[in-house]
Chains A and B, each alone.
Chain A
């Protein structure tokens, strides 16, 4: 490539602009600089569809079925967007150093060295500031979203406070090798192997295990919490979409780990009540 060997055109009459700005402006006039930036933009636009493709993958089985899942997808979407520019720039430099800046082949070390750039204050400062800002943005966004999700999943409410509001439903989730059972203590201990949820009503989960660690993952609802032996973990969700969804075990729990999964049925309130009446009448010993 002979592009680099071109001397940029003379700078116009110098002004009182600070030299650093001057430098940046001159730098932008260098052919390779422009090409790298153009390449960055191109690659950036090539990567842009990812933001939606990721969500498409996550929504295949009917997600989002809850506010929590919406928040999660929002986070994924935003993180993809903000990480595209920096990725595009790095890829652009890689590509341009292969096609743009000269290459030397051969068996002997090249006779002619490259420009000895030991550092570049402006570039380093730009990178540091931007990457720090980016990290800070991710942290802040994450903290806010986490607080929001914790609120939506009632994760801060302890077991004894829970039977508070009448509108709520408490479900005791028990993981054991290799089946899930769901107990509805407010309906005299009605127990089921399918997770039935009322639509648009907050549901508290108390989760524990009778043997090893399992992980209660309600995929389309975006609920995930370990079922630990000897401890009770809490979470919750408000399902806002009718349908059949999946519970999968997301922590290796022995031979039939792959088969430790079941259905979620999100029902209208009256359908839910009728299910309770049909199967829940008698007390479980």
Chain B
């Protein structure tokens, strides 16, 4: 009703517009302005969305079945992830469309081949890590322990461990809750031991025998989660900037989907 009051004026008959032609012209200008504005918003939005699409999804394929601690047979999937201290001719840097990231993240550690992971629901998943990076003291000893695997252990260079020394951590693989109460709570954190400084390296500068870690965990119902590294391996304040806050380097998504 208020709007109607405002509208009473400036009608084509009123003193505010000369004649129909002006009126139509005005309408066209208005129409074009709205159209143009909408086009700009859509354009910028699409451009940016394309600029930053997530890295290609790495899917854990089901490779037969495995016996869960409960004794039941469950589908078993496997995933292979490597952690490199920096890119090289052998391991290309994760691709980013933003030019500044190529500058700022050059020579920073990253997970390879991808950080967008997808695993089947209600099954056992084994992730095999090869860790090529050095390391040191982690902020929170909680993340030098293994959390959320089937028996609370991980296999490190062949032998089962439940934790490693807090000052010998290379990276961690920490999956945590996505803010949705409708999906099962899921928390998993795996410390990846560091390589000693005197480790023998190949010509690329990577250790010849990296730290091999493999963990098996049980997935529940479908859901989306995120993961990131909890070891300060980035730059800037507390070394938690740069790659730590860039998906494709040290953080990513972790989707549990129905097979």
Contacts and interface: CB of A to CB of B under 8 A. Distances in A.
B185 A256 contact: no
B251 A255 contact: yes
Contact of A181 (B140, B244, B247): B140
B185 A285 contact: no
A285 B142 CA distance: 9
B27 interface: no
Contacts of B8: 105
Interface string B173-217: 010111101000101010000000000000000000000000000
A61 B245 CA distance: 31
B14 A262 contact: no
Contacts of B247: 255
A40 B147 CA distance: 61
Interface in A229-285: 246, 248, 254-256, 258-259, 261-263, 284-285
Nearest to A246: B181
B22 to A, nearest CB: 16
Given A103-B5, A107-B16, A174 B140 contact: yes
B16 A178 contact: no
Where chain A touches its partner, the secondary structure class is mixed
Nearest to B241: A254
Nearest to A265: B185
B236 to A, nearest CB: 11
Given A210-B139, A254-B245, A285-B141, A177 B240 contact: yes
Contact of A263 (B141, B185, B189, B240): B185
Nearest to B239: A211
A88 B109 CA distance: 61
Contacts of A246: 181
Given A105-B8, A262-B177, A285-B141, 11 more contacts: A98-B2, A107-B9, A176-B230, A177-B228, A177-B240, A210-B139, A211-B139, A211-B238, A211-B240, A256-B251, A284-B142
Interface of A: 61, 98, 103, 105, 107, 174, 176-179, 181, 191, 193-194, 210-212, 246, 248, 254-256, 258-259, 261-263, 284-285
List 6 tightest A-B contacts by C-beta distance, closest first: A255-B245, A211-B238, A210-B139, A259-B226, A107-B15, A181-B142
Interface of B: 1-2, 5, 8-9, 14-16, 139-142, 145, 147, 163, 166, 174, 176-179, 181, 185, 187, 189, 226, 228, 230, 237-238, 240, 244-247, 251
